[in-house]
């Protein structure tokens, strides 16, 4: 039987849809960044079997964080793939060699050397190789492995790796995590999440979600690299206490808080019931403008409420006071006021003269979380994620939020602006705001 492709060798191996292009790639370096149980080890070992077969009789060199780890993961998956695809094999543990062959063709076997990073493999020259969990292995060991994959007669000289980030332990490799996919002349690096593994049940994924907090889910399920040791800005946010079911709204006092970032532009919807604030919705649009965001919010509000039954307060980022050339000299708050009035809403605009100090607003939000006075309904999935991921910027003096990821912090900012305005709604304090009621402004400086 002539083997021309991975599917010829492993006819019963079904690639996950998210990794089909990775398997087809002919690059010299092929990497998979992934969450736990995302299927990366099966994909890695399927590719290892194919490369070892193509390069026989030369070695394929497989490296794991430890030899015990290799025996418990790599060898187990290799054996399972062989059994499922009717390949004969033998695992010679004493020689650290996994051999396999087509039926009745033992003399033409392929060889995979199995090593742990604690072992010396200098002197070995291999035609191809793989690393399981490279970011748990010292870089000096990786470099030795890299040099060993250099056989001049290799049919396919390829270096494979697959791993999950180890944010608190990693000493190297951060550059691999800047982009979801890396593709250049030599390398093809893909990301696969736990959710991409179609063979996992929804119940299993749900139980994994319950095991991790927001930031740990980003690392161990989404395959991202986030510093878990960084100081959480919203330390008092707890999904068990702060997230509640979405119930019918009993109050009619609503605050919409805006963040005027360009991409994404977002807002949140907060209801006030006595001294409890509950965020009941979130609005996010990409590559858009204030007018389009307003239209989206208005459409959603009209689906949920009668205009005449609600008291609507609009607030947000102080940057919305600035005149915008692209909007014919109007401010964001002018655009908002015009849009909501056209839609028939009565509203008060709470326009901040300046944003509250970052430390003050975040301390206020944490106090509300701690006392159960600020809740978020479970449908606000991006806001829930955001509250768990926002951190203080490392290595800075003062109180600066880490804005290195442009998809993080904007919903939290919008929520904080709404919460800060709610403090003014409850009291006579008006020091931060200009209040406009149907276009009539009263200045409080």
Question: What is residue 434's predicted lDDT score, i.e. its pLDDT?
Answer: 52
pLDDT for position 166: 75
- 122-126-127 Cα angle (round to 5): 160
Please say which residue of 203, 231, 258 terminates a domain.
203
Q: For residue 217, is it within any domain?
A: no
Low-confidence ranges of the chain (pLDDT < 50): 325, 396-397, 428-432, 435, 437-445
**377 phi-psi bin (left φ>0, alpha ψ -120 to 50, beta other):** beta
Going by C-alpha positions, the residue among 126, 67, 118, 119 that lies closest to residue 91 is 67
Q: What share of the chain is helix, strand, coil (3-state, %, to 5)?
A: 40, 25, 40
Which of 181, 203, 225 lies at the terminal end of a domain, its last residue?
A: 203
Same domain, 304 and 407: yes
- Residue 432: closest CA among 443, 419, 416, 418: 443
Crossing angle of helices 290-304 and 332-342, rounded to 10°: 40
Residues 6 or more apart in contact with residue 427 via CB below 8 angstroms? none
Beta strand 59-64 with 110-116 is: parallel
My answer on whether 49 and 127 are in the same domain is yes
**Percent of the chain scored above 70 by pLDDT?**
89
β-pairing verdict for 110-116 and 187-192: unpaired
Paired strand residues for 88: 101
Q: Looking at residue 8, what is its pLDDT? A: 95
Q: For residue 11, give its domain range.
A: 6-203
Q: Are 60 and 113 in contact (CB under 8 A)?
A: yes
Q: For residue 165, which of 211, 213, 230, 221 has the smallest C-alpha distance?
A: 221
Beta bridge pairs of residue 278: 271, 375
pLDDT tens-digit readout, 271-315: 998 889 999 999 999 888 999 999 999 999 999 998 888 889 999
Handedness of CA 35, 39, 40, 41 (dihedral sign): positive
pLDDT at position 263 is 82
Query: Whole-prediction pTM value?
Result: 0.59
One domain, residues 180 and 285:
no
Q: Per the structure, how many domains does the chain have?
A: 2
Asked if residue 223 is part of any domain, the answer here is no
Which residues contact residue 61 at a Cβ distance below 8 angstroms, ignoring those fewer than 6 apart?
A: 112, 113, 115, 121, 124, 126, 128, 129, 130, 145, 148, 149
Can you give the pLDDT at residue 393? Answer: 78
Residues 197 and 251 in one domain: no
Task: Give yes or no: residues 150 and 277 share one domain.
Answer: no
Euclidean distance between CA atoms 324 and 292, whole angstroms? 15
What local confidence, expressed as pLDDT, does residue 442 receive? 35
| The pLDDT value given to residue 411 | 95
Residue 31 lies in a domain: yes
User: Does one domain contain both 182 and 255?
Assistant: no
- Note whether residue 362 is domain-resident: yes
Q: Is the domain of 165 the same as that of 296?
A: no
CA separation for the pair 64, 91 (Å, rounded) = 16
Which of 180, 203, 226 finishes a domain? Answer: 203
Predicted pLDDT at 249:
65
CB contact at 8 A, 382 and 259: no
**Concatenated DSSP letters for 97-129?**
EEEEE-TT-GGG-EEEEEEETTS--TT--BSEE
CA 341 to chain centre: 38
Residue 423's pLDDT is what? 85
What's the pLDDT tens digit per position in 388-404? 888 887 654 456 787 77
Mark whether 161 and 290 lie in a shared domain: no
């Amino acid at each position: 039987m002539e083997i021309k492709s991975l599917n010829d060798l492993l006819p019963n191996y079904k690639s996950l849809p998210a990794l089909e292009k990775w398997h087809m790639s002919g690059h010299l370096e092929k990497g998979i960044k992934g969450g736990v149980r995302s299927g990366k080890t099966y994909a890695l070992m399927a590719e290892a079997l194919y490369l070892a077969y193509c390069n026989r009789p030369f070695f394929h060199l497989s490296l794991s964080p430890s030899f015990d780890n290799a025996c418990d993961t790599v060898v187990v998956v290799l054996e399972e793939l062989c059994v499922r695809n009717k390949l004969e094999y033998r695992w010679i543990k004493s020689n650290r060699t996994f051999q396999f062959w087509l039926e009745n063709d033992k003399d033409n076997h392929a060889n995979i050397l199995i090593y742990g990073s604690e072992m010396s493999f200098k002197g070995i020259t291999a035609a191809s190789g793989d690393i399981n969990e490279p970011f748990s292995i010292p870089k000096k060991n990786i470099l030795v492995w890299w040099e060993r994959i250099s056989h001049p007669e290799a049919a396919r000289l390829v270096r494979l790796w697959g791993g999950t980030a180890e944010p608190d332990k990693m000493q190297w490799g951060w550059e691999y995590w800047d982009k979801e996919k890396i593709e250049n002349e030599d390398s093809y690096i893909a990301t696969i999440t736990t959710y991409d593994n179609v063979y996992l049940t929804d119940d299993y994924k749900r139980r994994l979600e319950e095991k991790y907090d927001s930031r740990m889910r980003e690392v161990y399920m989404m395959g991202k690299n986030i510093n878990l040791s960084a100081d959480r800005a919203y330390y008092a946010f707890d999904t068990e206490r702060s997230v509640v079911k979405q119930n019918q709204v009993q109050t009619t006092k609503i605050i919409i808080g805006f963040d005027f970032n360009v991409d994404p532009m977002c807002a949140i919807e907060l209801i006030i019931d006595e001294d409890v604030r509950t965020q009941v919705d979130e609005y996010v649009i990409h590559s858009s403008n204030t007018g389009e965001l307003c239209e989206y919010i208005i459409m959603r509000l009209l689906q949920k409420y009668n205009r005449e039954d609600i008291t609507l307060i609009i607030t947000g980022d102080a940057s919305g006071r600035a005149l915008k050339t692209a909007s014919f000299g109007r401010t964001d708050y002018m655009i908002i006021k015009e849009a909501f009035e056209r839609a028939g809403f009565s509203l008060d605009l709470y326009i901040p003269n300046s944003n509250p100090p970052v430390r003050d607003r975040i301390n206020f939000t944490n106090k509300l979380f701690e006392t159960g006075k600020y809740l978020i309904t479970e449908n606000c999935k991006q806001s829930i994620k955001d509250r768990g991921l926002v951190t203080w910027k490392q290595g800075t003096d003062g109180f600066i939020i880490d804005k290195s990821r442009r998809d993080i912090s904007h919903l939290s900012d919008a929520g904080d602006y709404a919460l800060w305005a709610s403090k003014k709604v409850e009291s006579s304090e008006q020091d931060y705001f200009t209040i406009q009621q149907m276009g009539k402004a009263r200045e409080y400086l």
